[in-house]
Amino acid sequence: MKKIEGVMYQANAPKGVDPDSIFFVQVDATKCEACGSCEEVCGTGAIQSINEDGIRQVIDPAACMNCGQCLSNCPYGAIYEGISYVDEIFEKLKDPDTVVVSMPAPAVRYGLGESFGAATGTYVGGQMHAALRQLGFDYIWDNEFTADVTIMEEGTELIQRVQEQGKKDARPLPQFTSCCPGWVKFAETFYPDLLPNLSSCKSPIGMLGPLAKTYGAHETHTEAKKIYTVSIMPCIAKKYEGLRPELADSGFRDIDATINTRELAAMIKTAGINFNSLPEQKPDPALGDSTGAATIFGTSGGVMEAALRLAYEVLSGKKLKNPEIKVVRTHEGINTADVKVPGFGTVKVAVASGLKNAAKLCDEVRAGKSPYHFIEIMSCPGGCVNGAGQPLDPEITASLFRSTVAKINQRFRARKVTA
C-alpha cells in the first residue's frame, strides 16, 4: 500500500487479468467508522454493511461500476484503490527502447492544479503539458484531440440513426453516449436490453489508444510495438476500461497503463518538478490539438453541447453563430432540452449525471416512452471534473469536527440552491 495525494493505493499493475475480477476500490475494514457515507453515494448498492457493526465492503466486483464516488466521499479515508501503474510508468520512462506517450483527459487540467495549491478548478493545461514533457514522456498527445474525433464519429452516428428511422434494421433511438466507463458497465450489467441504444463509438481514450499505435506511429515514424500508451484520467473506472480485452484493435494492447489525476500529481512531486513555475506549453501535433468542444467533455452536458455544435451545422447546413448551447449545461441531476435546428426541426435531448438518475432515463427507454434523440450519461455527479480520480475535496477528508461542519454546510448549501 502506498499513500498518493491522501488516498491509499495497492501498487498492483495487472496485465492480461480479467478486469471483472479486480476490486478497483475497496474499504479498509480497520479504518471504516460505519458512517454509511459510501452507501449513500453508491449508485448500484455494491457497497454495503457486512456485519452488525456496520462495517462496509464492496461485496463483489460485478456489482461495482468502479466510479469511486464512495472513495471521494469517505470522511475517514478508509477506501483504497486496487491498482496503480505509477511504478511501471516510471520504469518505462527510464527505458530508452520504449516510446512513452501521454493521453490526459480534459478534466485532468481542471483538477491537477489543486494538488499544487491552486484554487478549486484552476485551468492548468499548459503546465500539465510542460510537466509531462519534463517527466520524460516522448510524445505529449492529448485525449482532447480524440474528444473532437469522438464528436465526429458519435455525431455522425446520431445523424445516421435519425435518418434511418422507419427503415429495416434501423438502429434504435435515443442514442446514449458511451464515453463514461462507469455508465457503460452499468448499461451492460443492469440494462443489457438497451445496449443497441448505446453509441458504438469507443470513448475518447478508447480511440486515442489505437490511433496512437497506428496513425501516431506512422506520423512519428515510430515502431508501434515500442509505443507505451499512458491514459491519464480524472477517473477510477477508466482503469477498468483500459483492461477491457476487446480494446486491442491496434494489434497490441491499445492502452498500456491508466493513472488518475492524483497519481500524476504524485509523479510530478516525486520527480521534483516545481509545477507552479512551469511555463505553459502546447501538446505535440497530429494527436494533440483540440477545441473548446473537446474540453467541455469534462462536465455534465458537455458531450451533448459539443455534439450539438456539429449536428446543428450538418443538419441545417448553416453555420452555428454562437456555439454556446447553455440549456444543456447541467450542474446536477437530470436536465432535458429541446434544441431547434433549422431545416430539421426539434432535437430532443436529455443529460444526466449519477447512476440513479441514469436508471430513470433507462426505465423510460425500456418502457418505450422516451421522447429523446440523444441522451448523455455520466456516472459522477456534475461529470468528469468531479471524477473519483481527482484531488479530493478538502472539506470531506478534513478532521471529524470539520467534516461535521462540512456536512451542515452542505445541507445549508442544498437549501440555498433550490431557493
Among all residues, which ones are annotated catalytic?
154, 157, 179, 199, 238, 241, 246, 384
User: Hunting for cell 430513470 — which residue is that?
Assistant: 360
Rounded to 10 deg, the angle between the 204-211 and 143-164 helix axes is: 110
Smallest gap, in angstroms, from Cβ of residue 178 to other proteins? Answer: 8
Q: Which residues contact 187 (CB under 8 A, 6 or more apart)?
A: 176, 194, 195, 198, 362
Nearest residue (CB) to other proteins, 135 versus 396 = 396
Please state the φ and ψ torsions of residue 74, each to the nearest 5 degrees: -80, 120
Question: How many beta carbons lie within 10 A of that of residue 157, not counting itself?
Answer: 17
Q: From the CB of 398, what's the least distance to other proteins, in Å? A: 12
Q: Is beta strand 334-341 parallel, antiparallel or unpaired with respect to 345-353?
A: antiparallel
Which CB sits closer to other proteins, 82 or 210?
A: 210
Question: Which lies closer to other proteins via its Cβ, residue 72 or residue 84?
Answer: 72
Give the residue with the Cβ less far from other proteins, 26 or 250: 250
Question: Nearest distance from residue 295's CB to other proteins, in Å?
Answer: 6
The residue among 31 and 281 lying less far from other proteins, judged by its C-beta, is: 281
Taking the least distance from each CB to other proteins, the nearer of 369 and 416 is: 416
CB of 288 to other proteins, least distance (A): 7
Shortest spacing between CB 166 and other proteins, in angstroms: 20
Closest contact distance (angstroms) between CB of 352 and other proteins is 15
Question: Which residue type sits at 413?
Answer: R
Q: Identify whether the C-beta of residue 125 lies closer than 8 Å to the C-beta of residue 187.
A: no
- 176 in Cβ contact with 61 (< 8 Å): no
Q: Angle 66-148-210 (CA atoms, 0-180°, nearest 5)?
A: 65
The span from the CA of 26 to the CA of 206, in Å, is 25
Phi first, then psi, for residue 245 (nearest 5°) are -60, -30
Q: How far is the CB of 96 from other proteins (least distance, A)?
A: 28
All cell numbers assigned to 321: 453563430
Measure the CA–CA gap between 84 and 1, rounded to whole angstroms. 10
Residue closer to other proteins (CB basis): 25 or 89: 25
Backbone phi and psi for residue 20, each to the nearest 5 degrees, phi listed first: -75, -5
DSSP string, 247-265: --TTSS-S--EEEEHHHHH
Question: For 28-186, where are the E strands, in sequence order?
Answer: 47-49, 56-58, 79-81, 99-104, 139-140, 175-176
